[in-house]
Amino acid sequence: MDNLVRTDFATHFAAAVAAHRGSAFLEGDTLNALTMHTDGRISVTWAPFDHIFTDARLVVVGITPGRQQAENALAAFKQAIAAGASPAEASRRAKYVGAFSGPIRNNLAAMLDRIGVQSLLGVRSGADLFSPGPELVHFTSALRHPVLVNGKDYNGTPDMLGTPALRQQIETHLAEEARALPSALWLPLGPKPVPAVRHLATRGLIDPERILEGLPHPSGANGERVAYFLGRKERAELSTKTRPEPLDEARERLTAQITRLRLAA
């Protein structure tokens, strides 16, 4: 299947991005030109995250792109347009700018191996999913286009399903991705994207058995929880900030879930 991109958005906003002068895109006239929706303290801004890698075996779901991630993607989009790329191709090139790399990617790959994802997907290691070549991981967000609340990155408040403008993103953009990737595993990063993914499952767009809930967020700030999940740190060595029971439960549940999927394949 060919890769998909919402060329209507990319084409519509290409001129505004190409005409931008200065450093930050998300300010002044360019911010106004890229703003898709405003509702009181909430604003939704376009950035080139529309491309869907339809060969992906794993979908990694965050909350919404942050301002810095959006700035990096817009800069890559502008550079591609200036080099003669079509808006669709520029969007494809911008898609993975700022995607997980380094320790975060290593932590995520190791946790996928710990629950057996590599055996289900027929790769040697979770790290192979991120290797150059076939685009086997699709990075996205519950809210695909950057959401700002009072000018700051959205952090889960107000509730995305209880806010019409945010719920619409889930039921249009994230639903589009679910339809394009019916056989992929869905991995929400942390608890905040989970309601969006579950919402699409209740609508029949995602198989609940293919949603991997409970992995610790792979960020460095979460290092102790990741280390315990991976068995690299003993329970007795944990600080009072880390509760081992939810991590034990998630590890056992996810391992059993992957085993069921593998046996049913």
Q: Which of 213, 240, 211 is nearest to 225 (CA)?
A: 240
pLDDT at 168: 94
- Helix-helix angle 87-95:7-18, to 10 degrees: 90
CB-based contacts of 234: which residues, under 8 Å, 6+ apart? none
Give the SS3 label for residue 234: coil
Spatial contact of 20 and 48, defined as CB atoms under 8 Å apart: no
Average pLDDT, the chain: 92
Say how far apart CA 190 and CA 215 lie, in whole Å: 7
Contacts of 15 (CB under 8 A, 6+ apart): none
Task: For 150-190, write each residue's pLDDT tens digit.
Answer: 999 999 999 999 999 999 999 999 999 999 999 999 999 98
Identity of the residue numbered 183: S
Checking if the pLDDT of 234 tops 60, the result is: yes
Would you state the pLDDT for residue 196?
98
CA distance 220 to 227: 10
pTM across the whole model: 0.92
Q: Could you read off the pLDDT of 14-73 as tens digits, one per residue?
A: 999 999 998 899 999 999 999 999 988 999 999 999 999 999 999 999 999 999 999 999
pLDDT of residue 6: 59
Contact predicate 167/203, CB 8 Å: no
Average pLDDT over residues 251-256: 98
